[in-house]
Each structure stands twice: as C-alpha cells, then as structure tokens.
Structure 1
Amino acid sequence: MSDFTLVDPQGWEWDLHSVYSAYIGYFQVHNIAWYDRSWGHLFSTFEDFLAFSWPVITVTDVWTGRAHIVTRLTSIGAFLKMIKTRFGETLPQAPNILQVTPFETSTRHLRTVTDYASYKKLHSTLPAAVLSALKLRIRAGEPKAVRELWAARDRTFLTIDFEWSERNEKSCLEFGYAAVRCGHLEALRHWPPVPDSNYRKGHFIVSEYVDKVVNKHSPGGAFPWQFGESQVCPKAKLPQIIQAVISSLASPDSETVANTLVLVAHGISGDLSRMEEMRIKLPHNMLILDTATFERTLFAGGHRPAMIDPHTSSPGNPKPRAHGSTLSLENLLRSLPAPPDAPPTPPQMPLPGVFPQTGALVHGVALHNAGNDAFLSLYALQLLLEPATQAPVISPKRAQAQARPLSFGGAPMPIPIAIPMGMHGGDALAAGLGADATANGAQAWEWERDDRKELTAAERHA
C-alpha cells in the first residue's frame, strides 16, 4: 500500500466490498452462471476480486458516521473494461452498490489494495477514522451526532467554567464544574436526569484573590454559588483539583474508541487554552462539545424557531436573528422555553443585548459566577436535547443571599442576588415595566458603562 499520495475525497464514494457484493447479488438475480465464465475466477472470493489492484481511500459517511474503504466510479469502469478487453464479454455496472458521501473534505492518503492481507490491514484503521470524524462532528456541533451521543445514555457530560481577572488574564479567580453520568443513571433506570439531584457539581474560589479581586464588567464572582457550598483552595492546588475531577470521570485513553467523558463549555476555546496553560492533561479520545456552537448549528439548520436578534433589535424595531450569530449563555437560556414546573420569574430591568423573555433562566442565579455558569451550561445543553427537563429550584435562603459589596461609579453598594439577574440579563424589548423601573434600569446600565470607561482609561494609562 502506498502512503505517499494524497487525493481529494470528492468522487470517492463507492464502498469497495459493496462492489463485490453487488455483483454476486446481480448474478444471482439474473441467473448468470458466473462460475462457468472465463472471467468467473475474478469473483470466486473477495480476495480474487481484489487482485485487480483497487485504488482506495478511507472516509466516513456524512450521515451514518461509519467508516468505509471506498473507490471511484472510474476504477469500477476500468475493471469492467478489463473484463471486456481480456475476455470479450461486457458486464453492466451492478445496481445496489453502497454509495457513501464523504464527511472528510481534506486530502486523504491514496492506497492500492491488491490482496486480502492489505485490505485487512487497511480495514483495521477504520475505528480510528470513525473516532477522528466523531471528534470533529461533536466539536462542530452537528445536531445528529450530538443527539445520538445523548440518546446512547452511556456518556458522562462534564461542563466547566473559569472566571479570570479582567486586569490580569493570568489570574484565575474561580473554577466551576457540573457533570451528569448518563450511564450510571440509565443503569438505575432514572431518565431524564434531574439537575438538582443528578448533577455532580463543584465551585472553587482561589484563596489568593478572595475579597481582593472583583471584575467590573462581569462581577458574577461577587455573588454566591447557588447550587452548593463553595470551596476555597490555593492557586497552586487548582490544577490538581481540576485534573482529579477529569480523571474521576474519564475512561482510558484509546486510539480507536471514544472516551466516555464529553467535555462541555459555552465558548470552550478559551477554557481549553486556560487548561493547557495550567498543564492539565486531557484524554486524546475525549469528545469536546461547545454549547454555543451546537445552538448556532441548530438554528442554522432550522432546528430552532425564528427569533429576534437581541444585539441589533431595539424597542419597536425588532430584527430577525441572522444565521451564524452566537448567543451568550444568558441569551441561550432566555431563548429556551421555561420548563412547565419552573417557578414564575419577576420582570427584570431592561438592558440592551438580551432577549425580552426570561425563558429558562433560573431566577436568583447570578451569571458570571464560575459554578453557576457551569451548572447552567449543562442545564441549557440538556434543555436543547430534553425539553422536558425538570427546572432547578433555588431555596429561598440562597435566593436572598447578599452579595459582596461592589463599586459602581466609585460608591460601594451591596446588591442582593435578585438584582444582578436584571443587570446581566435585562429586558431590552419588553413592555409593561413601569417608568420608575425603566429609569432605574437605565441608571444601572449607565453605572456599568461608566465603570467600563474608567477601566479602559486605567488600562490605557497603564
């Protein structure tokens, strides 16, 4: 087999073994005694059929995800021309040959199969090709692949989130995670997962920055984690903690079988870069899913309803969401219908750039807290796959928890947990709010905008 020639996979669509199988079937249907013909020895076995020397490549089917050893239609034509030239008999192209639509678009290694040993050797590489294609499919948010992954009920989905200092990108303030072990729940005949009771979750605050560093643009870290008790850990121990979480959920690494662990995040590229900087080792066979990419692909494919564009719309001038646009985690939750059992949420202060409806947003949970974002990312993914998912319930005690004081316009002001939901996820287009509420919302937005100007000026001065 040659490993030095690369070819474009376009046109390589015909499964090689299916070509042989189709001709044996054709002979049977038409009562052709092929074994008595002068060319019959070419079809005695699949190995005899391979003696023609078939140029092939390996690809995976864009729909089924299965790997195939495929050849071109011109090669089949050359085989039939050889029979006519050498034996003087014309054979038609057999029907029912398996036609594959290659998922791969980059060049592939061209190989020539001349016997069964070389075919068997090439066939042994197909599982690795399936794994490679599956990783690309999941990373691209392909709806069919992601849905099949969830429907198998044998994976563990782990969402992660970091909060980093806005002034020093090397300073990690928080880490949060949430995980659902679908295989474990399926074994217990408990499906679909219930977020409150079936998510393993954690939130870690770096001790060196506790009460010392609070972001101005996204001060979610100033508000408590609403799904458990936060833990404080030293900066030096955080990578070890993250590595242990991954190791406790992952299956062994493999070149041919996908890991049972699926790593999830909303906008995962930045998280992967941070983990690489922290020298956290991830299994090479681990699947990576970005909920932002998945939702965007669903919308582009018509799997989600039409909706306004929160960033280009204004009161009285709604504009449709454009294909290719990406939703923030908050807007993703707002775009999803609230589960039937979700408690009603009060109206929020209006802010530009967000959907007018509350949707599946969980009242009393501040975004941009690493633990809250990780939990809500997993919840959003499950809602996209299981719309009947039970809504999380926040206890009144947690919902009324007070935040650490923040500075707006230079004046410290303690803000209850209910307020940030409006500040980070206001209602840009909603009607029905009183004039006072609208004015307060506008004032809150002006404060935040002033802080951004102040931060930008300070950074420019530095």
Structure 2
Amino acid sequence: MSDFALVDPRGWEYDLHSVYSAYLGYFQVHNIAWYDRSWGHLFSTFEEFLSFSWPAITVTDVWTGKAHIVTRLTSIGAFLKMIKTRFGETLPQAPNIQQVTPFETTTRHLRTVSDYSTYKKMYSTLPAAVLSALKIRVRAGEPKAIQELWAGKDKTFLAIDFEWSERNEKSCLEWGYAAVRCAHLDAAGQWPPVPDANYRKGHYIVGEYVDKVVNKHCPTHPWQYSFGDSQVCPKAKLPQIIQGIISSLSSPDSETVANTLVLVAHGISGDLSRMEEMKIRLPHNMLIVDTASFERSLFAAGHRGTMLDPHLSTPGNPKGRASGSTLSLENLLRSLPAPAPAEGQPPNPAALLPQPVGPGLFPTMGAMCPGVLMHNSGNDAFMCLYGLQLLLEPNGTQAPAPKKLARPVSWSAPVALTPMGYMPTGNSGLVADFGAMALHGRQRSHSPGPTNLGVPASPSRGTMGRPGNSRRSSGVPMGDGVRRG
C-alpha cells in the first residue's frame, strides 16, 4: 500500500466487493455455469477476483455515512475487456452493483488492490474514515448526522460559553457550561431530559476582572446567572477548571471511535480559539456541534418555515429571512415555539414578566425565558443546550424555570400583525427603560441588579470575603438528577 497517488473522488462510486457479489448474483439469476467457463477461476473467490489489480480508494457515503472501498466504472469496463481479450467471451455489466455518492471532496489516496491482504489493510482504515467524515458533517451542522447523534441517546452534550474583554481578547471575564449525559438518563428511564433537573451546570467569574473590566458594545452581566450560583475563581485556575470538567465527561481518545463527549456552542470557532490559547486539551475524536450552523442548515433545508429577518425588517416593511443567514442565540430561541408546562406543574413565574420587543429581535419571546439575561456565560451555555434540545426533540421538552430573574427591559413599543408575523411599530420605550435601570447593592457592579418583581431576588453577590458570601455555594452544581414520576 506504499505506492499511491492522489485522485479526485468524483466518479469513484462502485463498491469493490459489491462488484464481485453482483456478478455472482447475475450468474445465478441467468443460470450461467460460471464454474465451467475458462474465466470461471476469476470468480471462484474474492481473492481471485482481486488478482485483476483493481484501482481503489476509500470514501464515505454522503447519505448513510458508511465507509466503502470503491472503484470506477472504467475499471469495471477494463476487467470485462480483459475477459473478452483473453478468453474470447463477452460479459455484460452486472446490475445491482452498490453505488455510493462520496462525501469527500478533497483528493484521496489511490491504492492498487491485487490481493486479499492489501484489501484487508484498506478495510481496516474504514472506521477512521467514518470518524473523520462524521466530525466534518457534525461541525458543518448536517441535520441528519446531528439528529442521529441525539437519537442514539449515548452521548454527553456539553454546551460552553466564554465572555471576553472587548479591549483585550486574552482576558476571559466569565465561563459557563451546561451538560446532559444522555446515556445515564436513558438507562434510568428518564427521557427526554428535563433541563432543570437533568442539566449539569456551572458559572465561573474571573476574580481579577469582576466589577473592573466592563464591555461597552456588548455589556456582560456577571451577577445575573439565573440557573444556580456563580463562583468566583482566580484567572490562573480557570483553565484547570475547564480541563477538569471536560475530562470528567469525555471518554478515551481514539482514531476509530467517536468520543462520548459532544462539544456544543453557538458560533463555536471563537470558543475553540480561546481554549487553544488557554492550552486546554480536547480529545481528537470529539464531535463539535455549532448550534448556529445547525439551525442555519435546518432553515436552508426548509425545516423551519418562513421567518422574518430581525435585522433587516423595519416597522411596516417586513423582510423575509434569506437562506444562509445566521441567527443569534436569543433570536434562535425566540424563533422556536415555547414548550407547554409539564402536566400538573404550575406555569413558569418568569412567563408573567413583560415580554421585550426591540430592534434586531424577533417580536415574540418564543422559547426564550423572560427574566434571563443573555451575555452571562452561564445563562448562554444553559440556553444553548436547551435550544439544541428544542431543535432536536421539541415534543416533551419542558421549559426551564429560572431560579433568579433579572429585571427585564420592558420595551413598550407596540406591535402590529403583518403578513409575515408580528412586527414592532415603534421603540419609544427603549430610552425610558435604559434610563430606569437601577444598580443593585453597593453600586460596584456595572451590571444591572435585580429589583423587586414579585419573585425571589438573586442572593447577594458577595464572594471572596465580600458581604453575603454565606449563601453562595462552595461547589459546582452537578445537576443531571433523574426526575421520578
């Protein structure tokens, strides 16, 4: 197998073993006593069939994802021509040869298979080819590949999010994660996952920057984590924390088998770059899901219906969403229908809060939880995993009930029904809402603090010697408990 060249995979679509199998079937159907013919020894075994010296490459099928050793139609024609020239008999092309459509578009290594040992060596590389193609398909957001991952119920999906300083991209302000261990839940008879009970989650704030570094263009909200307690950690320890969480959820690295851990984020390229800078080691066999790419692929395939473009639409002039456009995480959630509360469960108190409608946002809340501020890394990671679950399994998924609610921006702009849905007709409430935002506590945090909304306020943000530290958890909220009944 050392003598090889690079070839374009286009046109390489006939499974080599299927060529042999198809001819044996053809002989049987037409009562041809191939074993009595002068050329019959070429079909006595697959190894004899390979003695012709077949050019072959390995590819994966674009639909099934399975790997194959394939040859070209011209090579089959050359084989038939050889029989006619050497033995004086004409054989037609056999029907029912398995054809595949190569997923790969880059050049492949060409091998010449003339014996069974060479074929076995090529065959042993097929699992690695499947894994390599699967990683590309999942990263590109291919709906079928991602849906099969979720339907297998044997993976752990880990959603992550970073918040970085706008002035210095090397300064990490926050990190949050949410994970669901599907195999653990399925074995316990709990499916689909319940976000509140089954998501393992956490939120870390870097102590050196908290209340000191403030983003202006995209303000962060470090103290507004809605699904648990935040933890303040030293900057130097954050990579160790992230590495430990990834290691606790992943399986061993392998060249042939996909990792049980699937990494999830919305616009994940930036997160991967940051983890590389922090020297965090990721398993090479880990699959990566970008919810932005996944949703975009679903929309391009027609699975999400007609939508407004939240950025191009204006009052009285709605614009349809163009194929290839990308939604922000909040708009993705707003575009999904809100799940109904579980049977026997009271409505989520957050749903009673005013629903914001503003420029650049879909005019309905959809599955977005009122009272949950985005650009808090813990909230973003939790809602990213929740959004992925809604895209994959909307039926039976329950809406989360935030433990702590931030003061919502009550955009008072009226909305009007248009042919493409509800659209805001003004933004008069925007200035008033921002002017009314109050800071909580000692005014040291630059993020809006909670106010009395008739729901429990978040605990005091004191950590590391600050007042109010007695109510803050000292451990990571582990989650993924199994809800019974």
TM-score (norm: length of structure 2) = 0.84
Query: Could you tell me which amino acid in structure 1 is paired with residue 402 of structure 2?
Result: I
Q: Could you give the per-residue CA deviations for residues 240-277 of structure 1, whole angstroms, max 9, x where no partner exists?
A: 00000000000000000000000000000000000000
Pair 1:428–1:78, CA change in 2 (3 A): farther
Instruction: Provide the identity percentage.
Output: 74
Q: CA deviation at 1:346?
A: 4.1
4+ residue runs over 6 A deviation: 431-435, 445-448
Q: Distance in 1 between matches of 2:431 and 2:71?
A: 64
Q: Where in structure 2 are the equivalents of 1:354-365 lying within 5 Å?
A: 354-365=361-372
Pick aligned residue for 2:375 from 349, 368, 373 = 368
Pair 1:40–1:429, CA change in 2 (3 A): farther
Q: Counterpart of 2:398?
A: 390
Pair 1:428–1:319, CA change in 2 (3 A): farther
Q: Could you give the per-residue CA deviations for residues 259-305 of structure 1, whole angstroms, max 9, x where no partner exists?
A: 00000000000000000000000000000110000000000011111
Q: Counterpart of 1:379?
A: 386
Q: Counterpart of 1:104?
A: 104
- Bigger CA drift: 205-214 or 384-393? 205-214
Is residue 356–residue 427 contact of structure 1 (8 Å, CA) maintained in 2? Answer: no
Q: CA deviation at 1:439?
A: 1.9
Query: Could you tell me which amino acid in structure 2 is paired with residue 368 of structure 1?
Result: H
Pair 1:167–1:23, CA change in 2 (3 A): same
Q: Distance in 2 between matches of 1:109 and 1:182?
A: 37
Q: Where in structure 2 are the equivalents of 1:114-193 lying within 5 Å?
A: 114-193=114-193
Is residue 413–residue 427 contact of structure 2 (8 Å, CA) maintained in 1? Answer: no
Q: Counterpart of 2:360?
A: 353
Q: Counterpart of 2:90?
A: 90
Q: Could you give the per-residue CA deviations for residues 356-376 of structure 1, whole angstroms, max 9, x where no partner exists?
A: 111000111100000000000
Is residue 354–residue 370 contact of structure 2 (8 Å, CA) maintained in 1? Answer: no
Q: Counterpart of 1:220?
A: 220
Is residue 178–residue 374 contact of structure 1 (8 Å, CA) maintained in 2? Answer: yes
Query: Could you tell me which amino acid in structure 2 is paired with residue 373 of structure 1?
Result: D
- Bigger CA drift: 204-213 or 290-299? 204-213
Q: CA deviation at 1:429?
A: 5.5
Q: Could you give the per-residue CA deviations for residues 22-62 of structure 1, whole angstroms, max 9, x where no partner exists?
A: 01111111111100000000000000000000000000000
Q: Distance in 1 between matches of 2:57 and 2:424?
A: 66
- Bigger CA drift: 151-160 or 340-349? 340-349
Q: Distance in 1 between matches of 2:332 and 2:424?
A: 26
Is residue 158–residue 263 contact of structure 1 (8 Å, CA) maintained in 2? Answer: yes
Query: Could you tell me which amino acid in structure 2 is paired with residue 419 of structure 1?
Result: P
Q: Distance in 2 between matches of 1:274 and 1:447?
A: 36
Q: Distance in 2 between matches of 1:259 and 1:363?
A: 35
**Residue 439 in 1 paired to residue 428 in 2?**
yes
Q: Distance in 2 between matches of 1:259 and 1:128?
A: 13
Is residue 203–residue 230 contact of structure 2 (8 Å, CA) maintained in 1? Answer: yes
Q: Could you give the per-residue CA deviations for residues 97-121 of structure 1, whole angstroms, max 9, x where no partner exists?
A: 1000000001111110000000000
Is residue 51–residue 114 contact of structure 1 (8 Å, CA) maintained in 2? Answer: yes
Q: Distance in 2 between matches of 1:349 and 1:339?
A: 19
Query: Could you tell me which amino acid in structure 1 is paired with residue 293 of structure 2?
Result: T
Query: Could you tell me which amino acid in structure 1 is paired with residue 399 of structure 2?
Result: A
Secondary structure of 2:220's aligned partner: helix
Q: CA deviation at 1:442?
A: 4.4
Is residue 355–residue 427 contact of structure 1 (8 Å, CA) maintained in 2? Answer: no
Q: Distance in 1 between matches of 2:18 and 2:114?
A: 16
Q: Distance in 1 between matches of 2:96 and 2:33?
A: 20
Q: Distance in 1 between matches of 2:31 and 2:424?
A: 84
Query: Could you tell me which amino acid in structure 2 is paired with residue 288 of structure 1?
Result: I
Query: Could you tell me which amino acid in structure 2 is paired with residue 418 of structure 1?
Result: R
Query: Could you tell me which amino acid in structure 2 is paired with residue 376 of structure 1?
Result: M
Pair 1:445–1:18, CA change in 2 (3 A): farther
Pair 1:429–1:99, CA change in 2 (3 A): farther
Pair 1:286–1:394, CA change in 2 (3 A): same
Q: Distance in 2 between matches of 1:439 and 1:286?
A: 48
Q: Could you give the per-residue CA deviations for residues 433-456 of structure 1, whole angstroms, max 9, x where no partner exists?
A: 999x942214557999xxxxxxxx
Q: Counterpart of 2:55?
A: 55
Query: Could you tell me which amino acid in structure 1 is paired with residue 390 of structure 2?
Result: L
Q: Counterpart of 1:411?
A: none
Q: CA RMSD in A?
A: 2.1
Q: Could you give the per-residue CA deviations for residues 338-366 of structure 1, whole angstroms, max 9, x where no partner exists?
A: 00116435443442111111100011110
Q: Counterpart of 2:251?
A: 251
Query: Could you tell me which amino acid in structure 2 is paired with residue 392 of structure 1?
Result: P
Structure 1 unmatched runs, 5+: 400-416, 449-462
Q: Could you give the per-residue CA deviations for residues 293-343 of structure 1, whole angstroms, max 9, x where no partner exists?
A: 000000001111110101110111111100000000000000000001164
Pair 1:316–1:13, CA change in 2 (3 A): same
Q: Distance in 1 between matches of 2:365 and 2:172?
A: 30
Query: Could you tell me which amino acid in structure 2 is paired with residue 378 of structure 1?
Result: L
TM-score (norm: length of structure 1) = 0.88
Query: Could you tell me which amino acid in structure 2 is paired with residue 372 of structure 1?
Result: N
Q: Distance in 2 between matches of 1:71 and 1:434?
A: 59
Structure 2 unmatched runs, 5+: 342-346, 438-485
**Residue 418 in 1 paired to residue 393 in 2?**
no
Pair 1:6–1:433, CA change in 2 (3 A): closer
Q: CA deviation at 1:210?
A: 1.8
Query: Could you tell me which amino acid in structure 2 is paired with residue 263 of structure 1?
Result: L
Q: CA deviation at 1:418?
A: 2.6
Q: CA deviation at 1:214?
A: 2.4
Is residue 413–residue 424 contact of structure 2 (8 Å, CA) maintained in 1? Answer: no
Higher helix proportion: 1
Pair 1:3–1:379, CA change in 2 (3 A): farther
Q: Could you give the per-residue CA deviations for residues 379-434 of structure 1, whole angstroms, max 9, x where no partner exists?
A: 00000001021000124xx22xxxxxxxxxxxxxxxxx2325x57xx979657999
Q: Distance in 2 between matches of 1:40 and 1:345?
A: 80
Q: Distance in 2 between matches of 1:294 and 1:280?
A: 25
**Residue 75 in 1 paired to residue 48 in 2?**
no
